[in-house]
Amino acid sequence: MNGRTVLVTGGTGGIGTAIVRHLARQGHRVATNFRDPAKADAWGAAMTEEDLDVHIFQGDVSDLHSCEAMAREIETRLGPVEILVNNAGITRDAALHKMGHQQWLDVVNTNLNACFNVTRPVIEGMRSRQWGRIVQISSINGQKGQYGQANYAAAKAGMHGFTMSLAQENAKFGITVNTVSPGYVATDMVMAVPEEVREKIVAQIPMGRLGKPEEIAHAVAFLVGEDAAWITGANLAINGGHDMGW
């Protein structure tokens, strides 16, 4: 399976970039979104230097109208979205008794409501074409919770509820919908955590190390391929054994 049109939201981040690279190297036309033009320009230049078929579109995943416009522009330039990876996410950490309402809204809007905002404009086309792949990038903290992350954990847990319902609604249309829940991965966001805190996290991981963004990308590539056509509604936890719940 080559030459599909792919949208990876949040593609300029650590895990997002790895997913974009991997899918582009498989021969797909990969789109991602941006809100910061300067960052997008630098990122796009780096992708061009790697000779990857990657395209950047303005789009705010927390805004439905922006996502609808983005989907229309992608379809005009690259073709209808056939593979969607809902990867965009932010953190605004605080214990709930100190968390402001805006901190809650920002995280839920960007991490969870974005799944509706981005998927809604492309799902009908997938149904009419009788083929599609959708993957949510959730988190280990959506499975086990995390101190100071009630907003983030709730949003990430909600992503898999979205997956399971959407999988049931669309299985007969040749569309699979799955979740990938990474553990702690060596992205800029994680590496910005103080070293002593990172060491405590790594000490809890049976494999004794942080994950690599490329390891998440490989899993996503498998789930959007033809060989995974009978996998839908699943949550693939990739965390080095940090959490083994099922």
pLDDT digits (tens, 9 = 90+) for 22-67: 999 999 999 999 988 888 999 999 999 999 989 999 999 999 999 9
Residue 245 falls inside a structural domain: no
Which pLDDT score is estimated for 2? Answer: 62
Residue 150 falls inside a structural domain: yes
**Res 1 pLDDT > 50:** no
Residue 107 falls inside a structural domain: yes
Q: What is the pLDDT of residues 134-174, one digit of tens each?
A: 999 999 999 999 999 999 999 999 999 999 999 999 999 99
What is the rounded end-to-end Cα distance, in angstroms, of the chain? 31
What single DSSP character describes residue 27? T
**Res 95 pLDDT > 60:** yes
CB within 8 A of 75, min separation 6: which ones?
81, 125
Least confident of 1-5, 122-126, 203-207: 1-5
Which residues are identified as catalytic?
Answer: 152
Taken as a whole, the chain contains a residue count of 246
Give the number of domains in the chain: 1
Residue 34 falls inside a structural domain: yes
d(C-alpha 170, C-alpha 107), whole Å: 27
CA 136 to chain CA centroid, Å, is: 5
Least confident of 72-76, 106-110, 184-188, 213-217: 184-188
Average pLDDT over residues 84-90: 97
Residue 149 falls inside a structural domain: yes
DSSP helix, strand, coil percent of the chain (3-state; round to 5): 50, 15, 30
d(C-alpha 124, C-alpha 49), whole Å: 35
Q: What is the pLDDT of residues 203-230, one digit of tens each?
A: 999 999 999 999 999 999 999 999 999 9
Listed residue (132, 149, 131, 130) closest to 140, CA to CA: 149
Cα-flanking dihedrals φ and ψ of residue 224, to 5°? -90, 0
Query: Which residue segment(s) compose the domain that 157 sits in?
Result: 5-185+214-232
Question: Residue type for 42, please?
Answer: A
Residue 63 falls inside a structural domain: yes
Residue 193 falls inside a structural domain: no
- CATH code of the domain in which 131 resides: 3.40.50.720
CB within 8 A of 30, min separation 6: which ones?
6, 7, 8, 11, 20, 23, 24, 52, 53, 54, 55
Exposed / middle / buried, residue 214 (Cβ in 10 Å: 0-12, 13-18, 19+): middle
E-assigned strands of 21-75?
29-34, 54-58
Which pLDDT score is estimated for 146? Answer: 93
Residue 71 falls inside a structural domain: yes
